[in-house]
Amino acid sequence: MAQVATVKFLWRIVDLIVGGVFICTGAIKAFDPIRFASDIDNYKILPWAIAVGLAFYLPWLEIFCGIALILRRFYLGGLSILAGLISVFVIATVAAKVRGLDITCGCFGHASKKWNFSTHLGLDLVLFGLVIFLLFAWGRNFSASQR
Amino acid sequence: MRQALILVALAFLPGIGQAIYFRDKVSWKLPVSASEMVTVVQARAWGENAIWIDARPDEEFARDHVPGALSLNEDRWNELLPQFLAVWSPEKKIVVYCSSQSCNASREVAHRLRNQAQPPMQNVFVLEGGWEEWLKSRQ
């Protein structure tokens, strides 16, 4: 019983951490969308117009998903979107590195521009791991509630 | 799936609002308008009327740079800006470059010079292709 309570407590803490991180990074990017558009453009994957559109849109998606995690409303939807977003960030970052592009990642807003490739990738992977943990925890809890 | 779609749809609302708010501040056509870009050939032709600004990190500037260029990067903006202001005059053209076409530092330094420097500066140009293009033009 105590173990279940500990897992639920840990689950809640991870919820707050992941939700908080995405609200913060989303807010940083939403505050300066033009710079975020430049960061997206640096990857040289998308046309500039799409980079601008994403720069206006993605930060808010991150913020809403972060809020969903903290409030536990639309929880699974928020987690699924965040897992998808982080996967895209990781793939784009690795692809840029392979192509030898001199980029600022943009994943954690423009404030992260001084971070090197390993730091960006490491943080992305840690966040991805936490999101997977939350999906796993939600799945177990859902299965238990069905029994 | 339904939850994800609702979140995706919700995020459009502030995104569209912000796009409307920023409609005059960002071009949807080019990251830097064509009039703010300059080629190596054009910039060289300006000769003494141009001040070259190297927006790359200090160590790259120390390794090599365009002859006569001044270092002005965002890492040490407050330290380096005075030495630039000492040689700047309104009639001179400013050419900012970073490592390559894909780098962003030159756009940012140009943006700050235009919008945040005191006094705000006109005639600020970003070098197309950056340092890589400069090296090619030397060969």
Residue in A58, A62, A64, A67 to test binding to B, most B beta-carbons within 10 Å: A64
* Among B5, B11, B28, beta carbon nearest to A57: B11
Residues B3, A114: C-beta atoms closer than 8 Å: no
- The answer to whether residues B125 and B110 touch, using CB atoms and an 8 Å cutoff, is yes
Percent of chain A with pLDDT over 70: 86
- The answer to whether residues B66 and B60 touch, using CB atoms and an 8 Å cutoff, is no
Contacts of B120 (CB under 8 A, 6+ apart): B113, B114
Whether residue B50 is predicted with pLDDT greater than 60 in this model: the reply is: yes
ipTM: 0.80
Question: Mind listing the pLDDT tens digit for each residue in B17-32?
Answer: 999 988 766 667 666 6
Instruction: Report A:34-93 residues touching B (Cβ under 8 A).
Output: 34-35, 37-39, 41-42, 44, 48-49, 51-53, 56-57, 60-61, 63-65, 68, 74-78, 80-81
pLDDT of res. B11: 92
**Residue A83 DSSP SS3:** helix
Distances (CA, A) of A127 to A87, B50, B66: 10, 47, 41
Q: CA B135: distance to chain centroid?
A: 19
pLDDT of res. A102: 62
Whether residue A76 is predicted with pLDDT greater than 70 in this model: the reply is: yes
Distance CA(B16)–CA(A54), nearest Å, equals 11
Question: Mind listing the pLDDT tens digit for each residue in A131-144?
Answer: 999 998 888 776 66
Whether residue B55 is predicted with pLDDT greater than 80 in this model: the reply is: yes
Please state the rounded mean pLDDT for residues A55-70: 96
Whether residue A91 is predicted with pLDDT greater than 70 in this model: the reply is: yes
**Residues of chain A neighbouring B6 (CB-CB closer than 8 A):** 74, 77
**Residues of chain A neighbouring B18 (CB-CB closer than 8 A):** 30, 33, 56, 60
Q: Which residue has the higher pLDDT, A85 or B121?
A: A85
**Residues of chain B neighbouring A64 (CB-CB closer than 8 A):** 7, 10-11
Whether residue A50 is predicted with pLDDT greater than 60 in this model: the reply is: yes
**B19-23 LR contacts (CB < 8 Å, sep 24+):** B19/A53, B19/A56, B22/A33, B22/A34, B22/A56
Whether residue A111 is predicted with pLDDT greater than 60 in this model: the reply is: no
Q: CA torsion sign, A111 to A113 to A119 to A124?
A: positive
Are β-strands B124-127 and B70-71 bridged in parallel, bridged antiparallel, or unpaired? unpaired
pTM reported for the whole predicted model: 0.67
Reported as a pLDDT band with limits 50, 70 and 90, residue A109 is: low
Reported as a pLDDT band with limits 50, 70 and 90, residue A45 is: confident
Distance CA(A84)–CA(A86), nearest Å, equals 6
Q: Does domain B25-138 have CATH number 3.40.250.10?
A: yes
Distance CA(B68)–CA(B47), nearest Å, equals 11
Percent of chain B with pLDDT over 70: 90
